[in-house]
């Protein structure tokens, strides 16, 4: 009888460890210990920590992609409501651990992209997909008359991605969601009015 695969458990529990401690701060020992599996299980399933990191990014972004679909890409809702819902989801998600974990994408961008081009490229692609979803939502707002016809959806979408990442980092450092709440307020009261 074949031994059961621990791959899914390593990824699921490893994601939690990496999100909490960062990619560099999470050792293979920490990851397998959290998963409750022997250390050899890691090397049975992942060629390297980098390969594991790429899969953790995919798992994390699969959850985020569902949120993008339910908010920014959800044509059943008014476009600016979708955007507000997206930011509100991020605020509530950020507060799950009193803002200690921050955004895993930002963590990977800051610490893993220096020594892994594969991770850096994937993080850039994920940010680009987020920007495309934001641009789609903003373009829908233009079509719906919620924003002016000459509104620069692409630039503002890029601004939102960058600003949210900065707000997430400040929230983590300050142990408060206030930077993201402030960003939401400024976005809706000054930029999207």
Distance, first Cα to last Cα, the chain = 64
- Reported as a single tens digit per residue, the pLDDT across 6-19 is 899 999 999 999 99
The pTM score is 0.92
Per the structure, the complete domain to which residue 106 belongs is given by 48-191
* DSSP 8-state secondary structure symbol assigned to residue 23: T
On whether both 135 and 90 belong to a single domain, the answer is yes
63 and 137 together in one domain: yes
Structure confidence at residue 2 as a pLDDT band (50, 70, 90): low
CATH number at residue 157: 1.10.357.10
One domain for residues 60 and 42? no
Q: How far apart are alpha carbons 26 and 39 in whole angstroms? A: 14
Dihedral sign from CA coordinates of 107, 65, 129, 161: negative
Q: Would you mind telling me the total number of residues written for the chain in this entry?
A: 193
pLDDT of residue 193: 86
Residue 183 has a pLDDT of 98
pLDDT the model gives residue 1: 54
Same domain, 75 and 22: no
- Token pair of 2, please? 């074949």
Same domain for 181 and 89: yes
With b for 16 or more beta-carbon neighbours within 10 A and e for fewer, the 90-121 pattern comes to bbebbeeeebebbbbbbbbbbebbeebeebee
Whether residues 67 and 33 share a domain: the answer is no
């Amino acid at each position: 009888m074949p031994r059961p695969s621990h791959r899914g458990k390593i990824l699921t529990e490893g994601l939690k460890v990496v999100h909490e401690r960062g990619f560099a701060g999470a050792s293979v020992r920490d990851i397998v210990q959290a998963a409750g599996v022997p250390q050899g299980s890691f090397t049975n399933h992942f060629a390297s920590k980098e390969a594991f990191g790429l899969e953790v990014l995919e798992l994390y972004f699969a959850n985020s992609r569902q949120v993008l679909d339910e908010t920014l890409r959800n044509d059943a809702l008014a476009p600016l409501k979708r955007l507000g819902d997206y930011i509100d989801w991020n605020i509530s998600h950020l507060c799950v651990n009193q803002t200690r974990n921050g955004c895993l994408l930002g963590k990977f961008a800051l610490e893993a992209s220096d020594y892994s081009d594969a991770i850096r490229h994937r993080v850039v692609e994920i940010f680009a997909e987020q920007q495309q979803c934001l641009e789609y939502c903003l373009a829908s707002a233009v079509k719906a008359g919620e924003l002016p016809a000459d509104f620069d959806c692409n630039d503002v979408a890029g601004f939102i991605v960058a600003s949210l990442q900065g707000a997430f980092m400040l929230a983590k450092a300050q142990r408060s969601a206030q930077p993201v709440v402030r960003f939401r307020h400024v976005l809706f009261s000054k930029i999207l009015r």
